[in-house]
Structure 1
Amino acid sequence: MDSYPAMEAHGLIGDLQTAALVAKDGTLDWFCAPRFDSPSLFGGLLDRHKGGHFQVSPEGVDYVSKQLYLPGTPILITRFLSADGVGELVDFMPVAGDQPTDRHRLVRMLRVVRGVMRFRVDCQPRFNYGRDPHELDAYPAGHVFRSPALSLAVSLVRYPETRPGEQAIQVKDGGIWTIATLREGEAGGAVLETGAPPDQPHFYTPGEVQELLEQTRDFWRRWLGRSRYTGRWREMVERSAMTLKLMTYAPTGALIAAPTAGLPEQIGGQRNWDYRYTWIRDASISVHTLLKLGFTDEAWRYIHWVDDRVCEARDSETPLQIMYRVDGSPDVAEEVLDHFEGYRGSAPVRIGNGAANQLQLDIYGEVLNGLHEADCHGLQTWVALDRAVRLAGRRGRPADTDRWVRTRNKIYAQIMDRGFHSGRDAFVQHYATDVLDATLLAMPAVGLVSSRDPMWQSTLRAIGAELVSDSLVYRYDPAASPDGLPGQESTFTMCSFWYVRALAESGRLDDATLTFEKMLTYSSPLGLYSEEIAPTGQQTGNFPQAFSHLSLIGTALNLDRLLDAHPRGVV
């Protein structure tokens, strides 16, 4: 734990109510329970000394480590390779079901497949972001950590080949640790369980653990089998789809933006937000993507969750918030964890999100566009009115459509008249500036402008010249459009995929395909993306990020369609 692992050196596991991150060195350094937006039990990702961790790493030997997923699943395998031997750590979470529960299990299985290896096993939970004390009770089959709000049981897996006295467990700093030596064919393991009953833990048998693994494997492969995608980038699309599913709260269908909080957009910077909530703006692209892949149940559950938020806002006569908790609660009050040093010293560490009550008019368009997508399968104020007109007309619903059409057309005319800067020969961030913004790349996608319109073509060229670095796209220039915070942002992964789509639809299909392939090289070794990518290629911001993976899927679908229609690259 001498240094923070890179964000891209992590794998994501989860049970559809919460999730955990496991670093390439075998350290579990992020886990919140009982929900995504609950306080952390293991928060070493935000403070390596005070946050808590569960380390399983080779001891006393030089080694390299690699991670992979069991194909078609989020079951994570971390491999340790050394001159003395090769070890494998398997981490997964059995699916928790559709009903909210405090009981969540995380299985850690360790075995040596060649030679002999020694491992340090060090379990140091820290409840409520390291703020709550806990008691530790020892039992023959394991230990139980009890805090005022939550308990964590660590039950051992009893393998018949385990030698007596080989795994003597010691207590240190409120946690437990041991040094275990395993020879080829030998194994060890533990099952972590939150919300466990107060009685003592029990020994798990290898058969019980194997059954949990097979149940988890079969669930994910059955789910993935519903995907309709058979295109050119199947492996990346399916991994992205599983990542999105891992970030979906099963009891309500809400999709969080990311499973982490407080990770910096720039190392040492202050843009450290909590993304463990559901953004209303994500409804449109999420529903569209899920439906295109064939995951209709997930799309319907998500759109119903959004509809419930709209109805609650209407009934209470309060504005629609831009984000909510996974259970629909509007309480996302922001606070700072002053006692955490932050990832690689990036403070302040924020939990909650003060942006919840910002005025963002595009959320109404996103809601209606999502409803429109769902209705068809059976981002701006302009989008809201345009989709409302379409829905009312198709369904014969009573509405003042004449007024809506007039207002929609006035907005369109205003955007064309005032949103296009003649000096820049491009659409701009807002009417009173000449600053470019990569969110303009969404204009053709929502039908506001044709991808072949000369005004859009010149806008795309301007974005490419000013905001694109190789395949990576900056959202905007903070120096030209200050947002009140010091420091710079990295490139936005979502905008980079939008750029690929814009290139393709504008007739530059070869450029689009190459740029997309370059973007795939920026993923983590496991195929995961954070919100942003630094110039060095390092993943920054919260990890992994839903919008990045939604955009990857949407771009792959669009590229496949155009390449199938124009195999020689001429659109």
Structure 2
Amino acid sequence: MPDFPPIAEHGLIGDLQTAALVATDGTVDWFCAPRFDSPSVFGALLDAGRGGHLITRPATEAFTAKQLYLPDSAVLVTRFMTDTGVGEIVDFMPISDSTTATDRHRLVRLVRCVRGEMTFAVHIAPRFGYGRDPFRTRATDQAVLFETDKEALTVRLIREPFEEPGRSWVDSDGDVRAELQLRAGQRRGLVLEIGPAAPLTQFPLTEALRLLDETVDFWESWLSGCTYQGRWREMVHRAAITIKLMTYAPTGGLVAAPTAALPEQVGGERNWDYRYTWVRDASFSVYSLLSLGFSDEAAALGRWLRDRVFEQAEKDPTGPLQIMYRVDGSSDLIEETLPHWSGYRGSSPVRIGNGAAGQLQLDIYGEAMDSIYVGQRHGIVPGHEGWQAIRHMLDWVAANWAQPEEGIWETRGGRQDFTYGRLMCWVALDRGLRIAAEHGRPAPLDEWRRQRDAIYTEIMERGWSPARQAFRQHYDTNVLDSSLLRMPTVGFVTPHDPRWLSTLRAMESELVTDSLVYRYDPAASPDGLRGSEGTFSLCTFAYVTALAGAGELDKARVTFEKMLTYANHLGLYSEEIGLTGEQLGNFPQAFTHLSLIDAAVTLDRQLDRYPRAAARRHTVLPPSPGA
């Protein structure tokens, strides 16, 4: 089987409309254009032989590689150390008018020898349309044009005016191979332009350096708006930049991850396409971004959510929202497989599109209404048309909350009466009642209140398991579910309610392992899929938030610090963490970074509020064997 880099051995770059992954060995092995959810140009991450890639690395096999971001930016530096010298690659995507959707995008790769001398081997092998679209290649000594019937990729050489071009040729596959022989201080590079064919001429080094300065300035300026000054500033800043990188600026939609089909279990079938905007993720984003002071981004996400609610109200006010959409708001997410691709380390099928889009997941209404409520407290108040659409949505919730559903984890084992779905329907109606009261909005308040209170009573009676002394996943099981860690966060119970503390203890005994948290036990609650999965990173951060709310600050802080050790070398997280600490699932995952932000903000606030409690000196580690 061809070698695949670990999922964690990647950095992310982007231009707020699409993104690329860069491995620590200098390979761009995932890049879709012109949007996050477009077909791939480079897809070696899912098929090393047929997916396509851009490789730039030392020609020698013996080298050490390191990666870092330029401070406060999304400019990625990959450094190489060999016996003959030190070199580096600087990768970034310039950000032009990010609010206007465009078919032209640039990926700039600057190559420099820092000390001694170094020869870089370059291999440019695009595979358009998930490797299904044939292409033609035309090359000069200054540029290359790869062209299909649908799109074009122009690669232009960056070099000093006095330097001779490197040796290059087109091979039998239409790929381009080259060598860049550099001495200390010399700089060359490549500019990849996807879109209409660009002139086959050299790209000026001065222009590349100007684009680099502008890109760094953009990110530094944007990050300066962050109001977080807490204990984990560096990690929170990196999480914020990562969230921004996964935001489609023309609409404000946030993709769950920029990748597709990375496995939750290597060799398994839990391989989903995350390049879409979930109502749930977008809703959580509003709260997290507002907590950091990013009101413009929160407002854009709020508008994206508003538009989906408007569209549903116009289309069918008696029908449910779709749980996810494309970044432009369209609803076509037909799921298919790519049988010609092997999948990451043999993990098949490789899925694009997402069949879960048509599922009924009742929790999305609570998350949407909670974000609307938080937004209006920050001055983002829905107007008349917006309130009418909200009324239609809440009328639907009031009439439909009692039906079985697929649940937050998008299981494919049939509908159930999930407690979390009921909980968030309670939140939806509760927040609607609050907004109506605070702003004098007309609404069927008596009916909403009656249904909200009925949900509360049902959860307390049927969502509670006397046998487990805990709230359970759904009414016909005693299985625990970490989604319920949000019960005190949304105000359904107080953080010190005896039932909640008993639930937290039960979760700790069954779902928590060395601070990491599973979603649920799939062996005890069949989800319609084969195989197992790792711990869910977002659930671990939610656990930190729950501990902090319950006043268990020592345990919360140690759990948070432990979780930070599972980040990759750049501070990024995929969806899951496996048994030996490896990152699994799509990468990087937005929800995890949002949960990190929430945990950091909540824990900071509690530590500041109760400094003496935080200073208590007692062990929070398990006793050693035999103690």
Match of 2:477 among 417, 433, 446: 433
SS in 1 for 2:8: helix
Single out whichever of 374-383 and 46-55 deviates more from structure 2. 374-383
SS in 2 for 1:86: strand
d(CA) in 1 for partners of 2:553, 2:162 = 59
Q: Does the alignment pair 1:404 with 2:448?
A: yes
Q: Is the 8 A contact 2:283 2:368 kept in 1?
A: yes
Q: Does the alignment pair 1:545 with 2:545?
A: no
Q: Is the 8 A contact 2:123 2:175 kept in 1?
A: yes
Q: Is the 8 A contact 2:139 2:170 kept in 1?
A: no
Tell me the amino acid that sits aligned with residue 21 of structure 2.
L
Q: Does the alignment pair 1:141 with 2:142?
A: yes
Q: Does the alignment pair 1:326 with 2:327?
A: yes
Q: Deviations over 1:181-217 (max 9, x none)?
A: 21211221010001133x5322112111100000000
- What is the match of residue 19 of structure 1? 19
Q: Deviations over 1:337-391 (max 9, x none)?
A: 0000000100000000000010011111111111101001115111111011001
Matching of residues 141-540 of structure 1 within 5 Å: 141-162=142-163, 164=164, 166-197=166-197, 200-317=199-316, 318-378=319-379, 380-540=424-584
d(CA) in 2 for partners of 1:168, 1:277 = 38
- What is the match of residue 36 of structure 1? 36
What percentage of aligned pairs have identical amino acids? 58
Q: Is the 8 A contact 1:139 1:200 kept in 2?
A: no
SS in 2 for 1:498: helix
Cα shift at 1:450: 0.8
d(CA) in 2 for partners of 1:521, 1:169 = 44
Cα shift at 1:83: 2.0
SS in 2 for 1:270: coil
Instruction: Please give the TM-score of this superposition, normalised by the length of structure 1.
Output: 0.98
Tell me the amino acid that sits aligned with residue 609 of structure 2.
A
Cα shift at 1:166: 3.9
d(CA) in 2 for partners of 1:392, 1:221 = 40
Q: Is the 8 A contact 1:61 1:82 kept in 2?
A: no
Taking a change above 3 Å as real, the CA distance of residues 103 and 166 of structure 1, as seen in their structure-2 partners, is: closer
SS in 1 for 2:191: strand
Tell me the amino acid that sits aligned with residue 108 of structure 1.
R
Tell me the amino acid that sits aligned with residue 427 of structure 2.
V
Tell me the amino acid that sits aligned with residue 557 of structure 2.
T
Tell me the amino acid that sits aligned with residue 266 of structure 2.
I
SS in 2 for 1:290: helix
Tell me the amino acid that sits aligned with residue 482 of structure 2.
A
d(CA) in 2 for partners of 1:505, 1:42 = 44
Q: Is the 8 A contact 1:161 1:186 kept in 2?
A: no
d(CA) in 2 for partners of 1:258, 1:213 = 25
Q: Is the 8 A contact 1:13 1:93 kept in 2?
A: yes
Cα shift at 1:165: 5.5
d(CA) in 1 for partners of 2:613, 2:583 = 31
Q: Is the 8 A contact 1:170 1:178 kept in 2?
A: no
Cα shift at 1:63: 1.1
Taking a change above 3 Å as real, the CA distance of residues 219 and 409 of structure 1, as seen in their structure-2 partners, is: same
Tell me the amino acid that sits aligned with residue 190 of structure 2.
A
d(CA) in 2 for partners of 1:26, 1:504 = 40
Q: Structure 1 regions of 5+ residues with no counterpart? A: none
SS in 2 for 1:50: coil
Single out whichever of 504-513 and 561-570 deviates more from structure 2. 561-570
Single out whichever of 202-211 and 344-353 deviates more from structure 2. 202-211
d(CA) in 1 for partners of 2:613, 2:514 = 20
Matching of residues 120-135 of structure 1 within 5 Å: 120-135=121-136
Q: Is the 8 A contact 2:20 2:30 kept in 1?
A: yes
- What is the match of residue 109 of structure 2? 108
- What is the match of residue 3 of structure 1? 3
d(CA) in 2 for partners of 1:58, 1:80 = 7
Cα shift at 1:116: 1.6
Cα shift at 1:171: 3.0
Cα shift at 1:60: 2.1
SS in 2 for 1:157: strand
- What is the match of residue 75 of structure 1? 75
Tell me the amino acid that sits aligned with residue 242 of structure 1.
I
Q: Is the 8 A contact 1:29 1:45 kept in 2?
A: yes
SS in 1 for 2:171: strand
Q: Deviations over 1:92-132 (max 9, x none)?
A: 00014211101000001111111122221000000000000
d(CA) in 1 for partners of 2:165, 2:596 = 51
Instruction: Please give the TM-score of this superposition, normalised by the length of structure 2.
Output: 0.89
Tell me the amino acid that sits aligned with residue 544 of structure 2.
V
d(CA) in 2 for partners of 1:398, 1:547 = 34
Q: Deviations over 1:417-466 (max 9, x none)?
A: 11111110110001111000110101111111111001000100010110
d(CA) in 2 for partners of 1:422, 1:209 = 65
d(CA) in 1 for partners of 2:196, 2:449 = 58
d(CA) in 2 for partners of 1:285, 1:129 = 31
SS in 2 for 1:415: helix
Q: Deviations over 1:11-52 (max 9, x none)?
A: 000000000000000000000000000000000000000000
d(CA) in 2 for partners of 1:34, 1:553 = 29
Tell me the amino acid that sits aligned with residue 156 of structure 2.
S
Single out whichever of 199-208 and 433-442 deviates more from structure 2. 199-208
Q: Structure 2 regions of 5+ residues with no counterpart? A: 380-422, 617-627
Single out whichever of 372-381 and 19-28 deviates more from structure 2. 372-381
SS in 2 for 1:264: coil
Tell me the amino acid that sits aligned with residue 203 of structure 2.
Y
Tell me the amino acid that sits aligned with residue 341 of structure 1.
S
Single out whichever of 546-555 and 413-422 deviates more from structure 2. 413-422
SS in 2 for 1:201: coil
Cα shift at 1:160: 3.2
SS in 1 for 2:167: coil
Tell me the amino acid that sits aligned with residue 152 of structure 2.
S
d(CA) in 1 for partners of 2:566, 2:17 = 28
Cα shift at 1:471: 1.2
Q: Does the alignment pair 1:84 with 2:84?
A: yes
Cα shift at 1:406: 1.5
Cα shift at 1:569: 2.6
Q: Is the 8 A contact 1:7 1:543 kept in 2?
A: yes
Q: Is the 8 A contact 1:322 1:356 kept in 2?
A: yes
Q: Deviations over 1:505-539 (max 9, x none)?
A: 11210000000000000001000001111111111
Q: Is the 8 A contact 1:269 1:487 kept in 2?
A: yes
d(CA) in 1 for partners of 2:170, 2:314 = 57
Cα shift at 1:2: 4.6
Cα shift at 1:61: 4.0
